[in-house]
Amino acid sequence: MSKGGARHRARGTEQFILHDLYYLDCIRAALVSKGSLQNYGSILVKNDRIIGRGYNRLIQFRDKIRQGYANHAEINAINDALRQKRDTRGSTLYVAGFFPTERMLCLRSEPNYTCTRCIPGMEEYGVKLLAVPTLSGWETFPMDEVEGVVRNFRDHTPGKNTHEKRLSAWHNPYTIDFLLERVHSIDPFHSL
């Protein structure tokens, strides 16, 4: 894996992320989220098999990892795997989302990740790689590089706060409506 992450071929047709099956599964989960600024979904994959799914939501009684009153999608995917007694060590965590007010997908040509709150939980439960979507496919980062990716985003992206920075960084022509019109198989309540 090269410094700064390694691009790998999308699992769907061609190399375009909107056709990627893992991306669509993350968006399916994000559609269930009730967030007002950003809605995210995550899947945890080990040996090419999805072992956990999550979306932003309030803490549940059975959650092993807790982040205040609500957990992020990444942590909920790990919690889902742990509830099912699945081994999370060596897994890859995929995360994707959209801005519900602007209806814009969180996509850009260069990869970025912005959440330092999720890193300790990912490390504690042995997540090996973090995968973030770009327009041409997934970009993966080993966990020891993720904090640097977050720092780079925060230090070099214009905006007064994280939400403004995310909006400016992820400005693109693709909306959640565009995706839903083209992919009829997205059922937000299937398998969650």
pLDDT at 191 over 60: no
CA atoms within 13 A on the CB side of 128: 10
Which of 11 and 48 is assigned the larger pLDDT?
48
Which of 132 and 115 is assigned the larger pLDDT?
132
Percent of the chain with pLDDT strictly greater than 70: 86
Task: Give 54: exposed, middle or buried? Use CB within 10 Å, 0-12, 13-18, 19+.
Answer: buried
- Read off the pLDDT of each residue in 90-106 and give the average, rounded to a whole number: 93
- CA–CA dist 135, 126 (Å, integer): 28
What is the per-residue pLDDT for 96? Answer: 95
> What b-and-e string marks burial along 69-89, b requiring 16 or more CB atoms within 10 Å of the CB?
eebbbbbbbbbbbbeeebebe
- Read off the pLDDT of each residue in 88-116 and give the average, rounded to a whole number: 90
pLDDT at 122 over 90: yes
What is the per-residue pLDDT for 188? Answer: 52
What is the per-residue pLDDT for 119? Answer: 93
- CA–CA dist 55, 180 (Å, integer): 18
